Structure 1
Amino acid sequence: MTEADVPTAERISDDAFFALDTANQLPSAPAPRRRSPEHRAAWTARTRGFLGSDPGGSWVAERDGEVVGFATGFRREEVWCLATFAVRPGLQGAGIGAQVLDAAAAYGDHLPRGMLAASVDPRALRRYHQAGFRLHPQLTLRGAVDRSALPAASDVRDGGPGDLAWMDELDRALRGGPHGPDHERLLAAGRLVVTVDRSGYAYTNGAVLALLAARDEDVARTLLGACLADAGERYEVPHVTSANYWAVEVALAARMDVVAQGFLGLRGMAPPAPYVHHGALL
């Protein structure tokens, strides 16, 4: 992938995921929507960032000189992550996805661990399984928040650049690699909340939990409670695996809804916990 390919990749991604979400919409879920201009800009900036930090990790597939599929991946010490993978609607099932995914995955073949966030697309799930990834079902927690049931959050504060070093150490312990340059992208998308004793952190924008990492479940509950206390009318916590049932307990106590949605694909590792991963930055 080159910088010139990024706008086309973004359109393919938006088309593919909108079609998938429309075909698999749950009765309780909001109606699928196209990306907003702000979301498109953030997606484009993030992908260009991958080209800078991991120039060998992102690939496109062409047909008749036109980009028809792509995969973006990156390495963070001992873990390889697949950020995004999509094929133009109408061309799935023709072998394009398998080729471009293989090219991106080769960038992390030598690493002991791998992570990816998967949709419910059965074709993609088969490819991930064939690539050696074990698929762990995920829950999404969403709805209006009953703040009367939230745990106390007196030991948290706003974080900043001075916290990134210990946050990266926590990430190494939980998933095998730091977020490093990805913290800049996470900070741009919302607020960083950290515990006073440097035992956990979370990124939130008041509507969605982007990422949460903690030393233990008590710390994780405190951080999630702080995010929910600062929530708007509704809040969403995506990407919750069964290893992180503490998040389900907090959400149910706050009278939020629980729905099954997507998978976490892992190679060479168990589901990180206490940890709620980001959809693209893992």
Structure 2
Amino acid sequence: MDSVQVRPLRADDLPAAERASAVTFLDADRLSRRVSDPEPELRPAVAAKRWIERNRYFLDVDPGGCWIAVDPAADPTGPAGQVVGFGISQNRDGLWFLGTYGVLPSHQGRGVGARLMDAVLAHAGERPGIFSSSVHPGATRRYRLAGFSLHPQMRMVGTVDRATLPAVEGLREGDADDFAWMDRLDRELRVAGHGPDHGYLLGTLRLVVSRDRTRPGYVYVDGHGQASLLAAAHPETAQRLLWEALASARGDTVVNCITTPNEWAVDVGLAARLDIGQEGYIAVRGMDVPAPYLASGQFL
């Protein structure tokens, strides 16, 4: 019988879970690497710290959705064994999302992923669900068997041609006073608001919002000019917000999680002279693909 145990995540598991995540996704990046892509590298220390902080936040907000798989036989010297899998999900009102999920290459094909998926889906109950998926064949098979529709994502990468940047008007810096209408917009686009996630995101990212409340929209922008999460009531507002993000980019940038209903983002990226490629899937169950919307990989 398999010695692996699936149990709730604890705060003291986070460093070991991060290491399992780093190894798992490095292997996935190597499997999906294109010939022209640089050689994948292990997650750097600063990104590892962010991973731990983000998932500690998830553990604090909704611990019932946070699970790990542990194999005592893989590390018999340790008090609890080796973390060999992880599934971290969250409920926000009427919506469930999966923040991260994976199993170490050494333990794939042994049913560990299925058991973790059963645990996080039990937490979802009857809620609609959404997450961003890699192209790993074992993972995508599991998602489809769980009833999720897989919608191909595009990503756009490169250095913005600054000669293409338009004059963008009608935007301002956002703050916590905007969260109420942002959650209303979220509910229209993705079933439920982000709730406490807005506070977390505002603590780490720049928030830009539309001045026109009849055409609301917002975008969180990271220090590299990447739109980490974007939502709008109209494509024109979404395009202005994305241009604002690209205007702050220095060097290479990325526009992620572009689905077919969000071709407005493709138009902006092409105009900025970015290159387009395919990158995994947005998986949804019991809901439509949000639009105009660019999902966050972790907060959806």
Name the structure 2 match of 1:272.
290
d(CA) in 1 for partners of 2:162, 2:217: 21
Is residue 128 of structure 1 aligned with residue 136 of structure 2?
A: no
d(CA) in 2 for partners of 1:134, 1:117: 11
Q: TM-score, normalised by structure 2?
A: 0.90
Q: TM-score, normalised by structure 1?
A: 0.96
List alignment gaps of at least 5 residues for structure 1.
none
d(CA) in 2 for partners of 1:187, 1:259: 29
Larger Cα-atom Rg: 2
Name the structure 1 match of 2:209.
194
Name the structure 1 match of 2:5.
none
Is residue 10 of structure 1 aligned with residue 27 of structure 2?
A: no
Is residue 154 of structure 1 aligned with residue 169 of structure 2?
A: yes
Q: What does residue range 126-275 of structure 1 map to in structure 2 within 5 Å?
A: 126-198=141-213, 199-207=216-224, 208-275=226-293
Is residue 33 of structure 1 aligned with residue 50 of structure 2?
A: no
d(CA) in 2 for partners of 1:87, 1:69: 4
The one-letter code of the counterpart of 1:265 is A
User: For the Cα contact (< 8 Å) 2:153–2:282, is it kept in 1?
Assistant: yes
User: For the Cα contact (< 8 Å) 2:219–2:241, is it kept in 1?
Assistant: yes
The one-letter code of the counterpart of 1:195 is S
Equivalent of residue 106 in structure 2, options 75, 78, 90: 90
User: For the Cα contact (< 8 Å) 2:176–2:199, is it kept in 1?
Assistant: no
Residues 28 and 273 (structure 1 numbering): CA distance in 2 closer, same or farther, change over 3 Å?
Answer: farther
The one-letter code of the counterpart of 1:281 is F
User: For the Cα contact (< 8 Å) 1:206–1:232, is it kept in 2?
Assistant: no
The one-letter code of the counterpart of 1:24 is S
d(CA) in 2 for partners of 1:266, 1:12: 26
d(CA) in 1 for partners of 2:278, 2:227: 17
The one-letter code of the counterpart of 2:35 is P
User: For the Cα contact (< 8 Å) 2:171–2:209, is it kept in 1?
Assistant: yes
d(CA) in 1 for partners of 2:262, 2:166: 17
Name the structure 1 match of 2:89.
73
> Deviation at 1:214?
0.4
User: For the Cα contact (< 8 Å) 2:157–2:254, is it kept in 1?
Assistant: yes
d(CA) in 2 for partners of 1:38, 1:183: 22
d(CA) in 2 for partners of 1:142, 1:185: 26
List alignment gaps of at least 5 residues for structure 2.
1-8, 73-79
> Deviation at 1:147?
2.7
Identity among equivalent positions (%) equals 44
d(CA) in 2 for partners of 1:192, 1:32: 30
The one-letter code of the counterpart of 2:116 is V
Aligned length: 281
> Deviation at 1:28?
4.1
